[in-house]
Amino acid sequence: MVFTGQDETGYANLIKLATAAHLEGYYYKPRIDKEILAAHKEGLIALSGCLASEIPEAIMKEQLPKAREAIDWFKQTLGSENFYLELQNHGIAEQAKVNRHLIPWAKEFGLKLVATNDVHYVEKNHSHAHDCLVCIGTQSMLSDPKRMSAGYPKEQFYLRSADEMKARFAEAPEAVQNTVEIAEKCNLEIEFGKASLSCLSSSPTFHPRRLFAALAG
């Protein structure tokens, strides 16, 4: 899923969630559960996510009641104004299947749609260079049909123009317009040039540096 912070409260909660994901929920990769998300929900906007996320994954597995239950949980927890159903279209059949369910569900649940596009490279013709880069990172060969990037649709994960996005989501034009709505909701201003460090309480005989060393060691 995608989470953004609307303001300082949301940004602070994102930091708390990211910290908890690394220190408490780490298992091969950082993770959080719904309980901790509910505890730090203020100031957040959430998108339902790509194919690897809970709701699309349930739809692909034909577990529609599970997908609907998850949608309702996020709506009730975050508020309908802060939870968007995410549409993607990279020419992948599974995305089309997920979109066919999410578009009517948005009306049923009283939620808004938002169109997103994965950007792995900037220009369309950078697709081959990206393939090479993934091969270098995964120590595989371009000739290997089982390489990670072999399953990526060619020339699809580039930075599309506004007109291209409107054309790809013609069946739900409001999904493209809502990207602007989300951007306008985010009004976080970070003051640079000023350190914002937490104050650590310590005894007069225990210097903060020793406390840091003890925590790190």
pLDDT band at 211 (very low <50, low <70, confident <90, very high): confident
Return d(Cα 128, Cα 150) in angstroms, integer.
11
Q: What is the pLDDT of residue 203?
A: 63
79-112 tens-digit pLDDT: 999 999 999 999 999 999 999 999 999 999 999 9
CB 74 within 8 A of CB 67: no
Residue type, 41: K
User: What's the average model confidence in pLDDT over 32-47?
Assistant: 97
CB 10 within 8 A of CB 18: no
Which residues neighbour 51 within 8 Å (Cβ) at sequence distance 6 or greater? 57, 60, 88, 92, 94, 95, 98
DSSP-based three-state secondary structure for 85: strand
Report the range of poorest mean pLDDT among 1-5, 108-112, 114-118, 206-210.
206-210
* Stated pTM of the model: 0.87
Return d(Cα 205, Cα 154) in angstroms, integer.
63
145-196 tens-digit pLDDT: 999 999 899 999 999 999 999 999 999 999 999 999 999 999 988 888 887 7
Provide the 10 A C-beta neighbour count for residue 52.
8
Residue type, 133: L
User: What's the average model confidence in pLDDT over 18-45?
Assistant: 94
CB 92 within 8 A of CB 152: no
The encoded tokens of residue 157 equal 């994960």
Annotate 27-36 with b (16+ C-beta within 10 A) or e (fewer): eeeeebeeeb
